[in-house]
Amino acid sequence: MLQWLRRAFGVGDAEALYREGEAHSLRGNHAAAESLFRRALALDASRPHYHFALGCALQAAGRHDSAAESYRRALALDGRLVPAMINLGTILQASGERGGENASGRRDEALGLFRAATELAPGATEGWINLGFALERSRRLAESRQAYDRALAIDPSLADARFNRSLVLLAQGDYPAGWEDYEARWQATGYPRPAFGGPEWDGRPLDGKTVFLYTEQGFGDAIQCARYLPLLEGRGGRALLRCQPELERLFAGLHGLAGFVAPDAVPRFDFHCSLLSLPRLFGTTLETIPAQAPYLRADPALVERWRERLRGRPAGLRVGLAWSSQSKMPDAAVKSMTLEALAPLAAVAGTRFYSLQLGRAAEEAASGPVPMEDLTGEIRDFADTAALTQCMDLVISVDTAVAHLAGALARPVWTLLRYAPDWRWYPDEVKSRWYPTMRLYRQSSPGDWGAAVGTLVRDLDDAVGRGLGAAPGATSST
């Protein structure tokens, strides 16, 4: 191919290598592309776009530190290379959110790069979108909204910008506008809209008609929005639900649910609707959240089985722990914490800790710094998790499905949140608007769990000292 490029275009060896590398990049052959870009740079290191292309190949391969160095070299040669600014900014923003040494400096540099990109190319949307995201993660919600507004003024069809703006609007408490923008998720990257071939429910009275509901995104989202099924029944509807199999036994007792639909199956229906579109259709505002709990209940037979399993263990406040999000979303790692970060819990006398953690992080329970009993090997689905949770006096969890489950069961739950949490955990209050028995503990800076855990440990020590009832809504489960 190199010989053909030389003959066809009269290019030199370095340019021929670069162009062949670009062809490999387009096909996703990042290792081959990297090798070719490096060979091109060995012949001519003065071309900023060679360094930029190498950075793209390295970033696509997950080698972010090396990619950042390549982008810096490109910008040293051409300080107006906007794509390099944006790519470098995304790397710095992500690493800054994870915390560590000079995390704030990395986040500030990312913001500076995105601002510079919008100044150099004010008519390009990518800079405004990335700036909006970085500002949201810095909790500068008004400025973030303005950045997304600028992107959408340039191109109103940008679904990703509209969806991202919806999360800011919801975080600001502007639920009516937020729900409308949230519907843009169906056109946004990563949210393909199911095709069912029938009318979508628009909130009209149902008069006995059947609504085919389906879940999307994560377990926590489904648990949060399951509260709307009784309201659907109040509109005269009959609901059939297609959800993750792990949720079926938990949801079986929901008021308003006529039955389940097998995965990938489509029943006969009058209307279809995503579970996550119900807040919009019911006109939910920050003041009208249907927060009555419990709206889910653990199976009494399963609860009794778990109580028998726990009987005879040493006395103490039973505390269930979940420290890692199992979500497949990109921000799962930022929501999660290591068990080492919860090590101060071990010093609280009068407590007995039980793991509620599933997934790969569950392996930490056996050798972590917090002594705990791990019975999760006996958990089959969320019905079992609900029954075990019902036996706890308190649940401590990061922003994961366990926190939603405990809140839906009206169990006392203390939730640890990243610095810029999901929209549902705003406004900045100690109690959750969505779950009356939930207390919120927030990072004081991105990636730093120390202050939040310190406050939680003091509250836990105080709760134990004042007896079981000190945990909000707690009751003895012995």
- Same CATH topology for 2-186 and 300-470? no
Reading the block at residue 478, the tokens are 């012995």
Query: 36-45, 172-181, 244-253, 461-470: lowest mean pLDDT where?
Result: 461-470
Model confidence, pTM: 0.91
Say what percent of the chain tops pLDDT 90.
Answer: 83
CATH of 2-186, one of 1.10.8.60, 3.40.50.970, 1.25.40.10, 3.40.50.10490: 1.25.40.10
* Angle at alpha carbon of residue 459, lines to 456 and 465, rounded to 5°: 140
When pLDDT is averaged across residues 178-187 and rounded to a whole number, the result is 96
Reading the block at residue 266, the tokens are 């489509």
Burial 416-429 (b: 16+ CB within 10 A, else e): bbbbbbbbbbbeee
pLDDT reported for residue 468 = 57
Q: Prior bond to 122 cis, omega within 30?
A: no
- Above 90 in pLDDT, residue 426? yes
How far, rounded to the nearest angstrom, does the alpha carbon of residue 245 sit from its chain's CA centroid? Answer: 21
Query: 8-12, 23-27, 232-236: lowest mean pLDDT where?
Result: 8-12
> Residue 445 pairs with which residues in a beta bridge?
448
When pLDDT is averaged across residues 149-175 and rounded to a whole number, the result is 97
Which has more confidence, 473 or 439?
439
* Angle at alpha carbon of residue 352, lines to 351 and 356, rounded to 5°: 125
Query: First CA to last CA across the chain, in angstroms?
Result: 75
pLDDT reported for residue 328 = 73
CA dihedral sign of residues 470, 471, 473, 474: negative
The residue whose two tokens read 């010989």 is: 3
DSSP string spanning 305-337? Answer: HHHHHHTTSPPSEEEEEE------STTHHHH--
Mean pLDDT (the chain) is 92
Residue 433 burial by Cβ neighbours in a 10 Å radius (0-12, 13-18, 19+): middle
Amino acid at 248: E
Q: Which residue spans within 28-100 are E strands per DSSP? A: none
Q: How far apart are CA 387 and CA 399, in angstroms?
A: 20
pLDDT digits (tens, 9 = 90+) for 62-73: 999 999 999 999
Reading the block at residue 115, the tokens are 């601002």
pLDDT digits (tens, 9 = 90+) for 282-306: 999 999 999 999 999 999 999 999 9
The residue whose two tokens read 């040494």 is: 101
* Angle at alpha carbon of residue 336, lines to 335 and 337, rounded to 5°: 130
Please name which of 428, 382, 422 lies closest in space to residue 406, comparing C-alpha atoms: 382
* Strands ordered across the beta sheet of 438-442: 372-373, 351-355, 317-322, 394-398, 413-417, 438-442
CATH class of 300-470: alpha beta
The residue ranges of every structural domain in the chain are 2-186, 210-281, 300-470
- Above 80 in pLDDT, residue 147? yes
- DSSP 3-state of 238: strand
pLDDT reported for residue 332 = 83
